[in-house]
């Protein structure tokens, strides 16, 4: 299998550090608010990656961190911390206990989102607040090696001493770095970043002063504790490349003299409106809760994500989501029509030549840097191929769904648009008045909108058109 490694800029053959095992660290949520669907794209990507490895018979050790403390949890070293901002927003006392209370609440909502998106939960969700000891130890190692310096507001990593800084993504770190990281006249270099920020009122005791660990140091400490160093794969969004992930690499490699991770994979943005990244700070974000209120199955969002490579940006619109909803409903309906003789637990494919060829195609696509768009097209091709028996088609599709995670054997209810409902009602009236010419005309209009009507003894039924 081949993966696009941001570290080398090349598509590389995956060779695990340990035969038959994959160790994977996913940058997780900062639990100061609800996750928006742009955030959730990262976790769907990580889930598909895990499922792909498991489909290939690997044992996966997956860790996803939870940032519930720290300074800012953003690329900047200046400004108001997100968790502190959440305490003020919710009128909570400025205490570590209240910070954890807020974090636990939003983490619970985050886990619910993961489950509704059919995302397999990682083996562990380490919280940053439970790993202060490891953070302090790492800061002390960096200091003992002469890679940090002290300012009035914290301990900073001296990036000029790490010759490989910016190697992830082959970045020109002299360009606009100061604007990204924040101006601080005490810094030796605009690229330098905080490994510890002082706070005399709220924070954790440390030999070098009370305060909070920097966001970057938390990930380095937790990934090493649970996966060792190096581990196989580190994932995150493309926004993590310029600063956060380069900072992780700098401090981890400096401290322990070995690479942090072998492969670095990054998913692109989910954009909204005028091709703008969805973000909480921009107040242009949509949550899974909003989708649920609109009676949209969260797996419709998963289907939308799978329609593009993880490394390609997606332009979100309600129209695009409506299209994904109709497509998923049609696909499930076609799977249902293939019969009830195959259960989810009995979805192993047989050895017929045509079936083996389809499985070979699927493996080639999914092992080629997760070509999910190609695999979706392949699934549609299979359900339409009458040259293969219904049982074999259903076995294939459900077998592939072990990776796609769309619950294709799930019964689904289709949301009928209001304009279609009105046309159906008008057609029913025409039929009752025996105006069959008008009835046929309305049927054609309904079909043009992607739906078909059937007249049964129990009344009129409406379903997406079979394609």
Which helix (H) or strand (E) is 236 found in, with range? Answer: strand 231-237
Q: Are the C-beta atoms of 265 and 49 separated by less than 8 Å?
A: yes
Backbone angles phi, psi at 283, to 5 degrees: 55, 30
List the structure tokens of 245: 């992930």
Q: Are the C-beta atoms of 3 and 369 separated by less than 8 Å?
A: yes
3-state DSSP helix/strand/coil % of the chain, to nearest 5: 45, 20, 35
Binding site for ATP: which residues?
280
Binding site for Zn(2+): which residues?
27, 219, 244, 248
Distance of CA 244 to the CA centre of its chain: 17
Q: Are the C-beta atoms of 215 and 246 separated by less than 8 Å?
A: no
- Residue 168 burial by Cβ neighbours in a 10 Å radius (0-12, 13-18, 19+): buried
The 8-class DSSP code of residue 406 comes to -
Distance of CA 401 to the CA centre of its chain: 18
The Cα 134–Cα 255 span in angstroms is: 13
Question: In Å, what is the CA distance from 339 to each residue of 8, 216, 358?
Answer: 47, 52, 20
Q: Are the C-beta atoms of 427 and 452 separated by less than 8 Å?
A: no
Binding site: which residues?
27, 219, 244, 248, 280
The Cα 1–Cα 60 span in angstroms is: 15
Backbone angles phi, psi at 360, to 5 degrees: -60, -45
Maximum C-alpha span of the chain: 90
Quick one: CA dihedral 173, 276, 281, 235, positive or negative?
Answer: negative
The Cα 425–Cα 460 span in angstroms is: 9
Cis peptide before 388 (omega within 30 of 0): no
- CB-based burial, 353-376: b 16+ in 10 Å, e otherwise: eebeebeeebbebbbbbbbbebbb
């Amino acid at each position: 299998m081949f993966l696009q490694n941001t570290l080398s800029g090349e598509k590389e053959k995956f060779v695990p550090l340990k035969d038959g095992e994959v160790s994977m660290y996913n940058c997780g949520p900062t639990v100061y608010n609800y996750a928006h669907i742009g955030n959730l794209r990262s976790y769907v990507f990580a889930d598909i990656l895990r499922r792909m490895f498991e489909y290939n018979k690997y044992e996966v050790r997956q860790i996803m961190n939870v940032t519930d403390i720290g300074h800012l949890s953003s690329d900047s070293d200046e400004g108001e911390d997100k968790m502190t901002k959440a305490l003020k927003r919710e009128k909570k006392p400025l205490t570590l206990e209240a910070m954890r209370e807020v974090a636990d609440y939003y983490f619970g909502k985050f886990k619910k989102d993961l489950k509704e998106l059919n995302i397999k939960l990682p083996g562990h969700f380490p919280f940053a607040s439970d790993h202060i000891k490891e953070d302090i130890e790492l800061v002390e190692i960096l200091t003992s090696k002469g890679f940090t310096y002290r300012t009035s507001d914290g301990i900073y990593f001296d990036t000029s001493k790490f010759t490989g800084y910016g190697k992830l993504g082959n970045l020109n770190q002299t360009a606009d770095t100061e604007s990204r990281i924040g101006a601080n006249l005490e810094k030796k270099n605009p690229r330098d970043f905080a490994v510890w920020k002082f706070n005399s009122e709220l924070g954790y005791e440390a030999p070098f002063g009370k305060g909070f660990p920097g966001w970057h140091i938390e990930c380095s400490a937790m990934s090493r504790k649970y996966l060792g160093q190096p581990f196989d794969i580190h994932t995150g969004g493309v926004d993590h490349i310029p600063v956060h992930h380069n900072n992780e690499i700098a401090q981890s490699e400096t401290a322990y003299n070995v690479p942090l991770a072998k492969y670095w994979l990054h998913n692109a943005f989910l954009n909204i409106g005028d091709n703008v990244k969805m973000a909480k700070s921009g107040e242009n974000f949509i949550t899974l809760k909003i989708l649920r209120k609109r009676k949209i199955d969260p797996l419709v969002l998963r289907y939308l994500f799978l329609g593009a490579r993880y490394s390609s940006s997606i332009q979100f619109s309600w129209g695009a989501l409506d299209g994904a909803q109709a497509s998923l409903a049609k696909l499930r309906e076609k799977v249902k029509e293939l019969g009830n003789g195959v259960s989810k637990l009995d979805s192993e494919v047989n050895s017929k030549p045509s079936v083996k060829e389809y499985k070979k195609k699927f493996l080639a696509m999914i092992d080629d840097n997760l070509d999910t768009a190609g695999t979706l097209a392949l699934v549609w091709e299979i359900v339409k191929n009458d040259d293969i028996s219904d049982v074999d088609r259903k076995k294939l599709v459900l077998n592939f769904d072990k990776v796609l995670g769309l619950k294709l054997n799930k019964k689904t209810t289709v949301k009928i648009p209001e304009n279609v409902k009105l046309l159906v009602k008008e057609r029913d009236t025409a039929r009752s008045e025996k105006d069959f010419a008008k009835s046929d005309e309305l049927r054609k209009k309904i079909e043009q909108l992607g739906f078909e009507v059937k007249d049964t003894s129990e009344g009129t039924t409406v379903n997406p058109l079979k394609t």
